[in-house]
Structure 1
Amino acid sequence: MTNGNGAPQEGAPPQLNVLAQYTKDLSFENPNAPGSLQQQQQQPAINIQINVSANNIAQNEFEVTLHVDGKAESSGKVLFSFDLAYAGVFRIVNVPQENLHPLVMIECPRLLFPFAREIIATSVRDGGFPPLMLDPVDFVGLYRQNMERQQAAAAAQAKPS
């Protein structure tokens, strides 16, 4: 609840509710099967990229999307690759404005991550490989990196050429 001007009511506890969560996009490729399914001589090199985006879809409601892209390569050949966009709709109320952006970009993806991790593990297993269990993600560190990158880009644009 707000006091009419969008500010939280005094004493009202902050609330974060998950209204929905869903797979927006999922792609899994196994381009060199069945050859890629044979026992490999060495551990594959696995590269994972994780990004977070958010849209304000209604007052106090945000769609947060966790983008996870990955690729496993061995001897210069792609064993498998995947691209997952897993999203959730969150209702956030009674949170001060200065805390809203970090909450949306850190806590919301942290809640989505276990589900995205399971989808990826299952997809990789169904592709004929051992399940890929992603390590936990430091969403605070990811948030800080993104904020530093945005600040550096803004500073670079502000400089006269």
Structure 2
Amino acid sequence: MADDNNVLTDLDNQAAGANGADNQPTAAVITQYIKDLSVENPNAPDVYQWTDQPQIDVQFNIGADPVGEEVHEVTLKVNITATAEKGQAYIIELAYCGLIGIRNLPEEQAHAFMFAEAPRILFPFARRVIADAVRDAGFPPLMMDPIDFNGLYVQQLQAKREAEAAGAGGDTPAPN
């Protein structure tokens, strides 16, 4: 038993660093929750008589706001509109959030965690909420395909760098 305590103490000392400071890089989801959920069924009860298959439009938006020195709220906003020939079948708007703890990470890695990794972790839970909401509105559950948040993040970084490079080249005329 005494050996186990020594091992734990040694591990604690290593994690704390030589000077006793906690300097190990850490990023993790502290908790997750529904911040806002709206379900609209604007054409009920007529919509249940429609025979055509609705077209589904899914839009995503990811945001991150500081809550404390080492905690950020990452919001995965999902807006879904199902439209049939006769009108809108349903509208779902979800803001699914996670409190993300980040400590001792370089800015680039923290940004990547909040805008790529955290949404990847939150998405399966948001997908279940949406499937349940659509089902509870009286429709077959909407099973959204997985999303490559890391790939989208890399694409947006590349597009931003290209736009900055094009702006720095002087090709754009200055406004009067």
Q: TM-score, with normalisation over the residues of structure 2?
A: 0.76
Q: Of 69, 74, 86, which residue of structure 1 is paired with 2:84?
A: 74
1:16 is displaced (CA, Å) by: 2.3
Q: What aligned pairs does 1:104-143 form with structure 2 within 5 A after superposition?
A: 104-143=114-153
Partner of 1:28: 39
CA separation of 1:83/1:2 partners in 2, compared to 1, >3 Å: closer, same or farther? farther
Residue 50 (structure 1) aligned with residue 56 (structure 2): no
Residue 17 (structure 1) aligned with residue 28 (structure 2): yes
Q: By percentage of residues, which structure has more strand? A: 1
- Give 2:116's aligned amino acid: I
SS in 2 for 1:136: coil
Q: Separation in 1 of the partners of 2:37 and 2:46?
A: 23
Alignment root-mean-square deviation, CA = 2.5
1:99 is displaced (CA, Å) by: 1.2
1:148 is displaced (CA, Å) by: 5.0
CA separation of 1:39/1:89 partners in 2, compared to 1, >3 Å: closer, same or farther? same
Q: 5+ residue gaps in structure 2? A: 1-14
SS in 2 for 1:95: coil
Residue 40 (structure 1) aligned with residue 20 (structure 2): no
Bigger-Rg structure (1/2): 2
Partner of 1:87: 97
Q: Separation in 2 of the partners of 1:152 and 1:34?
A: 50
CA separation of 1:2/1:70 partners in 2, compared to 1, >3 Å: closer, same or farther? farther
SS in 1 for 2:83: strand
Q: Separation in 1 of the partners of 2:91 and 2:43?
A: 11
1:98 is displaced (CA, Å) by: 2.4
Q: Separation in 2 of the partners of 1:120 and 1:152?
A: 35
1:103 is displaced (CA, Å) by: 1.1
SS in 1 for 2:119: helix
Equivalenced residues, count = 153
1:104 is displaced (CA, Å) by: 0.9
Q: Separation in 2 of the partners of 1:83 and 1:147?
A: 26
Q: Separation in 2 of the partners of 1:50 and 1:137?
A: 10
Provide the identity percentage. Answer: 43
Higher relative contact order (CA 8 A, sep 6+): 1
1:29 is displaced (CA, Å) by: 0.6
1:55 is displaced (CA, Å) by: 0.9
